[in-house]
Amino acid sequence: MKSLFFNMNLLGVFILSISSWQCEDNRIEADLSHLPLSIDTVSVDSISFSSYRVAPNLGSNDRLYLGTKNSLDVPLAFIGINDHYYWENSLDSTVTVDSLHFILYSSDSLLTQSSTPNLFFNSDSQFNESKSTYLDFVGYSIADWESIGQPNVIVNTDTSGIFTYTELVWDIMSIDSMLTDTVDSNLIRNFAIQLINSDTNFIELFSREATSGDGPMDPKVKMYYRQNIEIDEDSTFLDTANVTIYSFGDISIIDPGPIDTESINLGLSNGIGLRSLVSISFDSASIPEGSLIRKALLSLPIDTSGSSDGYNIIVDPIDESVDTADVVFETDPYLGIGYPYRISSDIENGMFIISLKSFLQNITLGNETNLGFKVVANEKNDPFESINFDIENESAKPILEIIYVAN
Protein backbone atom coordinates (compact mmCIF):
# COMPACT_ATOMS: atom_id res chain seq x y z
CA MET A 1 0.00 0.00 0.00
CA LYS A 2 2.88 2.30 0.82
CA SER A 3 4.49 1.67 -2.59
CA LEU A 4 1.20 2.30 -4.40
CA PHE A 5 0.70 5.57 -2.52
CA PHE A 6 4.21 6.68 -3.49
CA ASN A 7 3.67 5.82 -7.17
CA MET A 8 0.34 7.64 -7.26
CA ASN A 9 2.04 10.76 -5.91
CA LEU A 10 4.69 10.56 -8.60
CA LEU A 11 1.98 10.18 -11.23
CA GLY A 12 0.22 13.27 -9.84
CA VAL A 13 3.41 15.32 -10.02
CA PHE A 14 4.06 14.08 -13.57
CA ILE A 15 0.56 15.04 -14.74
CA LEU A 16 0.80 18.42 -13.05
CA SER A 17 4.15 19.07 -14.73
CA ILE A 18 2.78 18.20 -18.17
CA SER A 19 -0.28 20.44 -17.58
CA SER A 20 1.90 23.35 -16.53
CA TRP A 21 4.19 22.84 -19.53
CA GLN A 22 1.21 22.79 -21.90
CA CYS A 23 -0.24 25.98 -20.40
CA GLU A 24 3.01 27.84 -20.84
CA ASP A 25 3.89 26.75 -24.37
CA ASN A 26 0.46 26.62 -26.04
CA ARG A 27 -0.72 30.26 -25.78
CA ILE A 28 -3.59 31.40 -27.96
CA GLU A 29 -2.57 34.24 -30.26
CA ALA A 30 -5.53 36.40 -31.41
CA ASP A 31 -5.23 38.47 -34.56
CA LEU A 32 -8.35 40.64 -34.78
CA SER A 33 -7.16 42.79 -37.67
CA HIS A 34 -9.39 40.92 -40.09
CA LEU A 35 -12.57 41.92 -38.22
CA PRO A 36 -14.54 44.83 -39.78
CA LEU A 37 -14.24 47.15 -36.73
CA SER A 38 -12.99 50.72 -36.70
CA ILE A 39 -12.67 53.48 -34.10
CA ASP A 40 -13.86 56.84 -35.29
CA THR A 41 -14.78 60.24 -33.88
CA VAL A 42 -17.44 62.80 -34.60
CA SER A 43 -17.74 66.36 -33.31
CA VAL A 44 -21.13 68.05 -32.99
CA ASP A 45 -21.05 71.84 -32.76
CA SER A 46 -24.68 72.41 -33.70
CA ILE A 47 -25.66 73.32 -30.14
CA SER A 48 -28.17 75.98 -29.12
CA PHE A 49 -28.95 77.57 -25.76
CA SER A 50 -31.90 79.27 -24.14
CA SER A 51 -32.69 80.24 -20.55
CA TYR A 52 -35.80 80.56 -18.44
CA ARG A 53 -36.72 81.46 -14.88
CA VAL A 54 -38.79 79.80 -12.19
CA ALA A 55 -39.77 81.10 -8.75
CA PRO A 56 -36.77 80.12 -6.57
CA ASN A 57 -37.19 77.63 -3.74
CA LEU A 58 -34.37 77.28 -1.19
CA GLY A 59 -35.91 74.54 0.93
CA SER A 60 -33.11 72.04 0.26
CA ASN A 61 -30.24 74.47 0.86
CA ASP A 62 -27.98 73.74 3.82
CA ARG A 63 -28.19 77.32 5.07
CA LEU A 64 -30.89 79.68 6.25
CA TYR A 65 -30.37 83.23 5.00
CA LEU A 66 -31.68 86.61 6.08
CA GLY A 67 -30.95 90.07 4.71
CA THR A 68 -29.66 91.47 1.43
CA LYS A 69 -26.76 90.20 -0.67
CA ASN A 70 -25.90 90.77 -4.34
CA SER A 71 -29.18 92.71 -4.81
CA LEU A 72 -31.24 89.75 -3.60
CA ASP A 73 -33.45 90.14 -0.53
CA VAL A 74 -34.39 87.45 1.98
CA PRO A 75 -36.95 89.03 4.31
CA LEU A 76 -38.05 85.89 6.16
CA ALA A 77 -37.05 82.35 7.04
CA PHE A 78 -39.34 79.72 8.54
CA ILE A 79 -38.55 76.76 10.82
CA GLY A 80 -41.07 74.11 11.81
CA ILE A 81 -40.51 72.04 14.97
CA ASN A 82 -41.59 68.41 15.11
CA ASP A 83 -44.54 67.05 17.01
CA HIS A 84 -43.30 64.96 19.95
CA TYR A 85 -44.89 63.11 22.85
CA TYR A 86 -42.82 65.25 25.22
CA TRP A 87 -45.03 68.24 24.41
CA GLU A 88 -47.97 66.40 25.96
CA ASN A 89 -45.81 64.70 28.58
CA SER A 90 -44.71 68.10 29.90
CA LEU A 91 -48.32 68.71 31.03
CA ASP A 92 -48.21 65.73 33.39
CA SER A 93 -48.72 66.80 37.00
CA THR A 94 -45.49 65.03 37.95
CA VAL A 95 -43.42 67.05 35.45
CA THR A 96 -41.97 70.51 35.97
CA VAL A 97 -40.40 72.21 32.95
CA ASP A 98 -37.40 74.25 34.08
CA SER A 99 -36.35 75.76 30.77
CA LEU A 100 -37.33 75.78 27.12
CA HIS A 101 -35.01 77.12 24.42
CA PHE A 102 -35.13 77.52 20.65
CA ILE A 103 -31.62 77.19 19.17
CA LEU A 104 -30.04 78.02 15.81
CA TYR A 105 -26.36 77.75 14.84
CA SER A 106 -23.92 79.78 12.78
CA SER A 107 -20.32 79.51 11.55
CA ASP A 108 -19.86 83.27 12.04
CA SER A 109 -17.63 84.00 15.03
CA LEU A 110 -18.32 87.75 14.84
CA LEU A 111 -22.07 87.65 15.39
CA THR A 112 -23.34 90.06 18.02
CA GLN A 113 -26.82 90.38 19.46
CA SER A 114 -27.44 93.57 17.50
CA SER A 115 -26.97 91.71 14.20
CA THR A 116 -29.19 88.74 15.09
CA PRO A 117 -32.79 88.19 13.99
CA ASN A 118 -36.01 88.45 15.95
CA LEU A 119 -37.93 85.23 16.57
CA PHE A 120 -41.69 84.82 16.09
CA PHE A 121 -44.13 81.95 16.70
CA ASN A 122 -47.36 80.89 15.02
CA SER A 123 -49.45 77.74 15.44
CA ASP A 124 -50.64 77.52 11.82
CA SER A 125 -48.89 75.92 8.85
CA GLN A 126 -47.21 78.71 6.93
CA PHE A 127 -44.78 77.05 4.54
CA ASN A 128 -43.97 73.99 2.46
CA GLU A 129 -40.24 73.25 2.46
CA SER A 130 -40.13 71.82 -1.07
CA LYS A 131 -42.65 74.14 -2.73
CA SER A 132 -42.93 77.54 -1.05
CA THR A 133 -41.56 80.57 -2.90
CA TYR A 134 -41.77 84.35 -2.59
CA LEU A 135 -44.96 84.22 -4.67
CA ASP A 136 -46.72 82.61 -1.69
CA PHE A 137 -45.76 85.54 0.54
CA VAL A 138 -46.38 88.64 -1.55
CA GLY A 139 -47.59 91.30 0.89
CA TYR A 140 -47.29 88.84 3.77
CA SER A 141 -46.84 90.14 7.31
CA ILE A 142 -45.95 88.43 10.58
CA ALA A 143 -47.34 91.31 12.62
CA ASP A 144 -49.91 89.00 14.24
CA TRP A 145 -47.31 86.36 15.19
CA GLU A 146 -46.16 86.01 18.79
CA SER A 147 -42.96 88.05 19.11
CA ILE A 148 -40.17 86.52 21.21
CA GLY A 149 -37.34 88.94 20.50
CA GLN A 150 -33.61 88.54 19.90
CA PRO A 151 -31.43 85.68 21.16
CA ASN A 152 -28.51 85.33 23.49
CA VAL A 153 -25.34 84.79 21.44
CA ILE A 154 -22.91 82.11 22.63
CA VAL A 155 -19.56 81.84 20.81
CA ASN A 156 -18.07 78.36 21.36
CA THR A 157 -14.42 77.32 21.19
CA ASP A 158 -12.54 74.05 21.59
CA THR A 159 -10.05 73.28 24.38
CA SER A 160 -7.35 75.15 22.44
CA GLY A 161 -9.46 78.28 22.23
CA ILE A 162 -10.14 77.87 18.51
CA PHE A 163 -13.61 78.94 17.35
CA THR A 164 -16.03 76.10 16.60
CA TYR A 165 -19.53 77.53 16.21
CA THR A 166 -21.93 80.20 17.41
CA GLU A 167 -25.26 79.47 19.11
CA LEU A 168 -28.30 81.71 18.94
CA VAL A 169 -30.44 80.79 21.94
CA TRP A 170 -33.96 82.12 22.56
CA ASP A 171 -35.80 81.57 25.83
CA ILE A 172 -39.29 80.46 24.76
CA MET A 173 -40.83 79.65 28.15
CA SER A 174 -43.24 82.53 27.53
CA ILE A 175 -44.99 80.48 24.81
CA ASP A 176 -44.91 77.15 26.68
CA SER A 177 -48.72 76.96 26.80
CA MET A 178 -48.96 77.55 23.04
CA LEU A 179 -46.44 74.83 22.26
CA THR A 180 -48.21 72.31 24.48
CA ASP A 181 -51.79 73.11 23.45
CA THR A 182 -53.56 69.73 23.41
CA VAL A 183 -56.95 71.20 22.41
CA ASP A 184 -55.78 72.31 18.94
CA SER A 185 -55.50 69.06 16.95
CA ASN A 186 -54.10 71.00 13.97
CA LEU A 187 -51.32 72.65 15.96
CA ILE A 188 -48.20 73.29 13.89
CA ARG A 189 -45.20 74.65 15.79
CA ASN A 190 -43.87 77.18 13.31
CA PHE A 191 -41.22 79.77 13.99
CA ALA A 192 -40.12 82.68 11.81
CA ILE A 193 -36.95 84.76 11.96
CA GLN A 194 -36.58 88.29 10.61
CA LEU A 195 -33.80 90.88 10.73
CA ILE A 196 -34.55 94.37 12.02
CA ASN A 197 -32.56 96.00 9.20
CA SER A 198 -32.68 93.42 6.43
CA ASP A 199 -31.65 95.94 3.77
CA THR A 200 -28.24 96.54 5.39
CA ASN A 201 -27.55 93.31 7.29
CA PHE A 202 -26.97 89.75 6.13
CA ILE A 203 -26.73 86.54 8.13
CA GLU A 204 -26.27 82.82 7.41
CA LEU A 205 -27.43 80.08 9.78
CA PHE A 206 -27.34 76.29 9.52
CA SER A 207 -30.51 74.67 8.19
CA ARG A 208 -31.54 71.09 8.95
CA GLU A 209 -29.93 70.05 5.64
CA ALA A 210 -26.47 71.02 6.94
CA THR A 211 -26.10 67.62 8.62
CA SER A 212 -27.61 64.21 7.97
CA GLY A 213 -30.32 63.04 10.34
CA ASP A 214 -30.86 64.95 13.57
CA GLY A 215 -27.45 66.61 13.62
CA PRO A 216 -25.80 68.76 16.29
CA MET A 217 -26.22 71.95 14.23
CA ASP A 218 -29.86 71.39 13.25
CA PRO A 219 -32.51 73.91 14.39
CA LYS A 220 -34.05 72.59 17.58
CA VAL A 221 -35.97 73.14 20.79
CA LYS A 222 -34.32 71.96 23.99
CA MET A 223 -36.40 71.23 27.08
CA TYR A 224 -35.01 70.69 30.60
CA TYR A 225 -37.44 69.24 33.13
CA ARG A 226 -37.88 67.46 36.48
CA GLN A 227 -40.21 64.55 37.10
CA ASN A 228 -41.36 62.97 40.35
CA ILE A 229 -41.34 59.21 39.79
CA GLU A 230 -43.18 57.08 42.32
CA ILE A 231 -41.09 54.22 43.66
CA ASP A 232 -43.72 52.87 46.03
CA GLU A 233 -46.62 54.19 48.09
CA ASP A 234 -44.34 55.97 50.52
CA SER A 235 -41.47 57.28 48.40
CA THR A 236 -40.77 59.10 45.13
CA PHE A 237 -37.65 59.80 43.10
CA LEU A 238 -36.93 63.19 41.51
CA ASP A 239 -35.52 62.63 38.02
CA THR A 240 -33.89 65.50 36.07
CA ALA A 241 -33.63 65.12 32.32
CA ASN A 242 -33.71 66.94 29.01
CA VAL A 243 -35.10 66.28 25.56
CA THR A 244 -34.21 67.72 22.15
CA ILE A 245 -36.97 68.24 19.56
CA TYR A 246 -35.73 68.85 16.03
CA SER A 247 -37.02 70.69 12.98
CA PHE A 248 -39.21 68.94 10.41
CA GLY A 249 -38.51 71.59 7.77
CA ASP A 250 -37.05 75.03 7.18
CA ILE A 251 -36.77 77.50 4.32
CA SER A 252 -35.54 80.97 3.42
CA ILE A 253 -37.93 83.06 1.34
CA ILE A 254 -35.80 84.81 -1.29
CA ASP A 255 -37.16 87.60 -3.48
CA PRO A 256 -35.47 87.67 -6.92
CA GLY A 257 -36.78 91.16 -7.67
CA PRO A 258 -38.38 92.34 -10.93
CA ILE A 259 -37.90 90.13 -14.00
CA ASP A 260 -37.02 91.56 -17.41
CA THR A 261 -38.22 88.90 -19.85
CA GLU A 262 -36.38 90.61 -22.72
CA SER A 263 -32.90 90.22 -21.22
CA ILE A 264 -32.58 86.86 -19.46
CA ASN A 265 -28.94 85.81 -19.30
CA LEU A 266 -27.78 82.46 -20.60
CA GLY A 267 -26.76 81.07 -17.26
CA LEU A 268 -27.72 79.55 -13.95
CA SER A 269 -28.65 80.90 -10.51
CA ASN A 270 -30.60 79.38 -7.65
CA GLY A 271 -31.28 82.78 -6.12
CA ILE A 272 -33.22 84.12 -9.09
CA GLY A 273 -34.39 80.73 -10.38
CA LEU A 274 -32.36 80.99 -13.60
CA ARG A 275 -32.09 77.74 -15.58
CA SER A 276 -31.02 76.81 -19.10
CA LEU A 277 -31.94 74.50 -21.97
CA VAL A 278 -29.37 72.97 -24.31
CA SER A 279 -30.34 71.50 -27.69
CA ILE A 280 -27.86 69.22 -29.47
CA SER A 281 -28.19 67.99 -33.04
CA PHE A 282 -27.90 64.24 -32.48
CA ASP A 283 -30.12 61.29 -33.40
CA SER A 284 -29.85 57.61 -34.27
CA ALA A 285 -28.42 58.45 -37.70
CA SER A 286 -25.59 60.62 -36.38
CA ILE A 287 -23.21 57.64 -36.20
CA PRO A 288 -23.25 54.33 -38.16
CA GLU A 289 -25.88 51.81 -37.17
CA GLY A 290 -24.71 49.30 -34.57
CA SER A 291 -21.89 51.50 -33.32
CA LEU A 292 -20.69 51.29 -29.73
CA ILE A 293 -20.06 54.67 -28.12
CA ARG A 294 -16.80 54.60 -26.15
CA LYS A 295 -16.93 58.23 -24.99
CA ALA A 296 -19.26 61.20 -25.44
CA LEU A 297 -18.27 64.46 -23.73
CA LEU A 298 -20.25 67.69 -23.87
CA SER A 299 -18.15 70.81 -23.15
CA LEU A 300 -19.99 73.93 -22.00
CA PRO A 301 -17.69 76.98 -21.63
CA ILE A 302 -18.54 79.66 -19.09
CA ASP A 303 -17.60 83.26 -18.41
CA THR A 304 -14.94 82.76 -15.74
CA SER A 305 -14.81 86.43 -14.73
CA GLY A 306 -17.63 86.06 -12.22
CA SER A 307 -17.87 82.34 -11.57
CA SER A 308 -17.01 80.35 -8.45
CA ASP A 309 -14.65 77.39 -8.84
CA GLY A 310 -16.87 75.29 -6.60
CA TYR A 311 -20.01 75.78 -8.69
CA ASN A 312 -21.76 72.53 -9.57
CA ILE A 313 -24.44 71.94 -12.20
CA ILE A 314 -26.94 69.19 -13.00
CA VAL A 315 -27.63 68.13 -16.61
CA ASP A 316 -30.73 66.05 -17.25
CA PRO A 317 -32.31 64.93 -20.55
CA ILE A 318 -35.83 66.33 -21.00
CA ASP A 319 -38.53 63.69 -20.66
CA GLU A 320 -41.40 65.43 -22.46
CA SER A 321 -41.51 68.27 -24.97
CA VAL A 322 -43.00 71.58 -23.79
CA ASP A 323 -44.81 73.72 -26.34
CA THR A 324 -44.41 77.26 -25.00
CA ALA A 325 -42.67 80.50 -25.80
CA ASP A 326 -42.80 81.66 -22.18
CA VAL A 327 -39.56 82.15 -20.27
CA VAL A 328 -40.92 82.81 -16.76
CA PHE A 329 -42.78 80.17 -14.73
CA GLU A 330 -44.03 79.62 -11.19
CA THR A 331 -42.82 76.01 -11.32
CA ASP A 332 -40.48 74.28 -13.76
CA PRO A 333 -42.40 72.87 -16.76
CA TYR A 334 -39.37 70.98 -18.08
CA LEU A 335 -39.26 67.54 -16.48
CA GLY A 336 -36.00 65.60 -16.60
CA ILE A 337 -35.70 61.85 -17.07
CA GLY A 338 -33.45 61.57 -14.03
CA TYR A 339 -31.76 58.28 -13.21
CA PRO A 340 -29.64 56.91 -14.85
CA TYR A 341 -28.90 59.87 -17.13
CA ARG A 342 -28.89 62.76 -14.64
CA ILE A 343 -25.27 63.95 -14.42
CA SER A 344 -23.52 66.52 -12.22
CA SER A 345 -20.39 68.44 -13.18
CA ASP A 346 -17.95 70.90 -11.61
CA ILE A 347 -16.06 73.68 -13.37
CA GLU A 348 -12.89 72.36 -15.05
CA ASN A 349 -10.56 74.75 -16.89
CA GLY A 350 -13.29 77.30 -17.48
CA MET A 351 -15.97 74.88 -18.61
CA PHE A 352 -18.30 72.12 -17.56
CA ILE A 353 -17.57 68.71 -19.09
CA ILE A 354 -20.48 66.27 -19.03
CA SER A 355 -20.53 62.63 -20.10
CA LEU A 356 -23.57 61.83 -22.26
CA LYS A 357 -22.36 58.36 -23.29
CA SER A 358 -25.22 56.31 -21.81
CA PHE A 359 -28.02 58.57 -23.05
CA LEU A 360 -26.64 58.95 -26.59
CA GLN A 361 -26.07 55.20 -26.87
CA ASN A 362 -29.72 54.60 -26.00
CA ILE A 363 -30.74 57.14 -28.63
CA THR A 364 -28.87 55.09 -31.27
CA LEU A 365 -30.64 51.96 -30.01
CA GLY A 366 -34.05 53.61 -30.31
CA ASN A 367 -34.67 53.49 -26.55
CA GLU A 368 -34.66 57.26 -26.00
CA THR A 369 -35.56 60.42 -27.92
CA ASN A 370 -33.40 63.54 -27.92
CA LEU A 371 -35.63 66.40 -26.72
CA GLY A 372 -32.74 68.46 -25.38
CA PHE A 373 -31.29 68.87 -21.91
CA LYS A 374 -32.24 70.87 -18.85
CA VAL A 375 -29.30 72.45 -17.01
CA VAL A 376 -29.79 73.66 -13.43
CA ALA A 377 -27.55 74.80 -10.60
CA ASN A 378 -26.99 72.22 -7.88
CA GLU A 379 -29.32 73.01 -4.97
CA LYS A 380 -26.31 73.13 -2.63
CA ASN A 381 -24.70 76.05 -4.50
CA ASP A 382 -24.66 79.47 -2.90
CA PRO A 383 -27.96 81.01 -4.12
CA PHE A 384 -26.34 84.44 -4.30
CA GLU A 385 -23.80 83.24 -6.88
CA SER A 386 -24.45 82.66 -10.58
CA ILE A 387 -22.65 81.54 -13.74
CA ASN A 388 -23.07 82.64 -17.36
CA PHE A 389 -22.39 80.44 -20.37
CA ASP A 390 -19.82 81.85 -22.81
CA ILE A 391 -21.05 80.70 -26.22
CA GLU A 392 -19.50 83.48 -28.31
CA ASN A 393 -15.86 82.64 -27.56
CA GLU A 394 -14.37 81.39 -30.84
CA SER A 395 -11.52 79.60 -29.05
CA ALA A 396 -13.80 77.55 -26.81
CA LYS A 397 -17.27 77.02 -28.23
CA PRO A 398 -19.76 74.46 -26.90
CA ILE A 399 -19.03 71.10 -28.51
CA LEU A 400 -19.99 67.43 -28.21
CA GLU A 401 -17.14 65.02 -29.00
CA ILE A 402 -17.97 61.35 -29.54
CA ILE A 403 -15.61 58.40 -29.90
CA TYR A 404 -17.29 55.24 -31.18
CA VAL A 405 -16.51 51.78 -32.53
CA ALA A 406 -18.25 51.06 -35.82
CA ASN A 407 -18.92 47.60 -37.19
- Residues in the chain predicted with pLDDT less than 50, given as ranges, are 1-28, 30, 32
pTM: 0.84
3-class SS string, the chain: CHHHHHHHHHHHHHHHHHHHHHHHHCCCCCCCCCCCCEEEEEEECCEEEEEEEECCCCCCCCEEEEEEECCEEEEEEEEEECCCHHHHHCCCCCEEEEEEEEEEEECCCCCCHHHCCEEEEECCCCCCCCCCCHHHHCCCCCCCCEEEECCEEEEEECCCCCEEEEEEEEECHHHHHHHCCCCCCCCCEEEEEECCCCCCCEEEEECHHHCCCCCCCCCEEEEEEEEEEEEECCEEEEEEEEEEEEEEEEEEEEECCCCCCCCCCCEEECCCCEEEEEEECCCCCCCCCCCEEEEEEEEEEECHHHCCCCCEEEEEEECCCCCCCCCEECCCCCCECCCCCCEEEEEECCEEEEECHHHHHHHHCCCCCCCCEEEEECCCCCCCCCEEECCCCCCCCCEEEEEEEEC
Q: What's the pLDDT tens digit per position in 100-122?
A: 999 999 999 999 888 999 999 99
- Note the pLDDT of residue 32: 46
Instruction: Spell out the domain ranges in the chain.
Output: 38-55+264-406, 63-255
- Note the pLDDT of residue 1: 44
Q: What's the pLDDT tens digit per position in 127-176?
A: 999 999 999 999 999 999 999 999 999 999 999 999 999 999 999 999 99
- Note the pLDDT of residue 296: 97
- Note the pLDDT of residue 287: 95
- What is the CATH code of the structural domain delimited by 38-55+264-406? 2.60.120
- Note the pLDDT of residue 304: 84
